[in-house]
Amino acid sequence: MRDEPFLHLRSAGTSLVLDRSGSGLPRVVHWGEDLGELSQDALAALALATVPQIASNNVDVVVPVGLLPEHSAGWLGTPGLTGHRAGADFSTAFTVTSFHVAGRTVTAVAEDVTAELELRLEVELTDSGLVRQRATVTSRAAAEAAPFTLSGVLLTLPVPERATELLDMTGRHLRERTPQRHTFTIGTHLRENRKGRTGTDAATVHVAGEPGFGFRAGEVWGLHVAWSGNHRSLAERTHAGEALLGGGELLLAGEIALGSGESYTTPWVYGSYGRGLDELAGRFHGHLRARAGHPHTPRPVTLNVWEAVYFNHDLGKLKELADIAAEVGAERFVLDDGWFRGRRDDHAGLGDWYVDEGVWPEGLHPLAEHVRGLGLEFGLWVEPEMVNPNSDLARSHPDWILATGDRLPPESRHQQVLDLGHPEAYAYILERLDAIVSEYSLTYLKWDHNRDLVEAGHSPTGQAGVHAQTTAVYRLLDELRARHPGLEIESCSSGGGRVDLGILERTDRVWTSDCIDALERQQIQRWTGLLLPPELMGSHVGAPEAHTTGRTHGLAFRAGTALFGHFGMEWDLTRAGEEDRAALREWIDLYKELRGLLHSGEVVRGDHPDPALWVHGVVAQDRSRAVYALVQVATSVVSPPGRVRLPGLDPAADYRVAPLAPGDRRRGPASTALAWWGEGVTLPGRALDAVGVRAPVQFPERLVLVEAVRV
């Protein structure tokens, strides 16, 4: 295979055909549906069949569009590598010097003798059918030469002409992952993130697809940048007909200047192909679940006390909360913000990571011992990357704050950002976290990050510092977990502001949003699921009246929404009546019974024509069982509702479909009950997908569960 001009990588229904003929960087002939076994002659014919004509007034050669497009080859779209050496060498022309193939991983090493640069390009087709790639750029200039100032590296994947529609995400705090769709026209649709973190409005997965694609139909191609700092992704179509998706880190001016022998490695950029968004998402889910570090123990029911007590820490109240949580079936107790020095509100204390002696004269030990005595794990909230100006740390070390050198950035939530690129600041935070985890034998940290990075520079020089900050956070997480192998960490960032595969190499779940209004969460979780499987999405049952929106929902809607994630509670249970506690216990029992299925099965979502009725569920990998939620998110223009199709089942097998308690309750008189609702119905999987079953009449913002079991 090493000397063959064409490489055909195949996995899980995906083909990636690379053309490595000639001396230039490898080009993608095909990325998409599996083409089956093809000979070198057939691959050569395929490449020949896709070579375009030379159009008038273009360059007089066919322009190769490599995985890293080059201006020097005649590509006039966005270049793959941008930078300069003292104003020269702005355009690269790489020649491949070595090529190595190991299984489904391809490594090409190339050089630009004039620019004195080396490029190492890695491309892999994973077991789940994802394409992932990264590049390393190294300066090979002499020591006395000017450094190469790198402005950016963009790695791309082509998409076919029929991909004429785009989907990506936008959003804000409390409304993350809001989808937006539009036509893929000629030009560049660019999503840039300059927030210093992934961002609540991140594109998440940038998707191109056939017109009208949905969850279950239409070919789609998606790209994700696995990076937790500034990044960009784009969808670009040229007048010559080429279309591609690309992405990489967004480098601020001067962040990367490569001296002799120095290197820069990009984040991994992932591509996923599927027939429908469910298959595209399933490749990400399969890849994450196959990781050695993926959580493989049952995801514990978690009580987080933020919306129960806020900053008002009282040992008696917290013990009572723990008692009730244990009674209803909780398995983990997390003490949120407010436990450290001076932290009575959000104006002070960040950076002073010592237990507040005035509130906790005996430390956190009385609470931790009580919690563990109930059989619950004990976890703690931290926000290590931030500092309040009103803190002992900021007063002692103002030079540890990310700033341009002569001024501080505007405050956000009354806080600034601690410069973890500063070795002493990094060492201080590592020592404090290590000490706290050790003293209290913590098994869980809720790791928050509550502001965007504005004018994030190293003091006193003011050099841009987002890249260094991001890599320092990664090192900090890696070192802390190495010291405490059993420690689980949640990525929280104003809720869902840091959701990407870079942070998830080092954390065990994300806090999907600070909004736990179940209606908002239906959309937030639906679209976060384009990247993440349910077990990585923190999803909690809130109080009857939502903290962030003021809406009131019944327990079945709140708990049924939280069921399809990593289940927890964010509720002052001392205010819950006996009836609510008993009902909550039923839901927790159901979660514990189902989490093996929910956290290993295939996530499916129905393309239902009525936007007021959503259908989603999880199907076991062996297709023996499935659980679906029928969710009325708004009033419908039709009543009674139509049929809902239940996707993902074995078409040849028969299934018994019936309501699933306690999510089987519907509103309305008994006389209006569905004919099949009481006793269930047995139908082939093919019929359940093609025809479906009637949905029950429900009022808006209601949810019922149905279960399909193979017979």
Mean pLDDT of the chain: 96
| Residues tagged active-site | 448, 514
- CB-based contacts of 348: which residues, under 8 Å, 6+ apart? 342, 388, 390, 391, 414
368-to-145, 226, 376 alpha-carbon distances in Å: 58, 36, 9
Give per-residue pLDDT as tens, 219-252.
Answer: 999 999 999 999 999 999 999 999 999 999 999 9
335-511 is a CATH 3.40.50.970 domain: no
> For 151-175, what is each residue's pLDDT tens digit?
999 999 999 999 999 999 999 999 9
Strands of 38-79, DSSP E: none
pLDDT at 1: 45
pTM of the model: 0.98
Q: Evaluate whether 66-289 and 335-511 have a shared fold.
A: no
Q: How many Cβ atoms from other residues are within 10 Å of residue 540's Cβ?
A: 25
Per-residue pLDDT tens over the stretch 365-393: 999 999 999 999 999 999 999 999 999 99
Q: What is residue 87's three-state secondary structure?
A: coil
Quote the strand ranges of 555-678, DSSP E.
566-570, 602-605, 613-619, 625-632, 643-644, 654-659
Sign of CA dihedral 288, 290, 294, 295: positive
Q: What is the DSSP letter of 640?
A: S
| pLDDT score recorded for residue 699 | 86
Task: Encode pLDDT of 522-536 as tens digits.
Answer: 999 999 999 999 999
Its CATH class, for the domain covering 66-289, is mainly beta
- Percent of the chain past pLDDT 70, that is, above it, reads 99
The predicted model gives 13-36 an average pLDDT of: 97
Domain locations in the chain as residue ranges:
66-289, 335-511, 603-710
For the stretch 604-652, pLDDT in tens is: 999 999 999 999 999 999 999 999 999 999 999 999 999 999 999 999 9
Check if CATH label 2.60.40.1180 holds for domain 603-710.
Answer: yes
Which pLDDT belongs to residue 672?
65
Q: What stretch of H or E contains 379?
A: strand 377-382
Task: Flag whether pLDDT at 580 surpasses 60.
Answer: yes
* pLDDT tens digits, one per residue of 307-363: 999 999 999 999 999 999 999 999 999 999 999 999 999 999 999 999 999 999 999
Query: pLDDT-based confidence at 405, cuts 50/70/90?
Result: confident
Encode pLDDT of 471-484 as tens digits.
999 999 999 999 99
pLDDT at residue 668 in the model: 57
Instruction: Output the pLDDT for position 253.
Output: 96
For residues 500-523, average pLDDT: 98
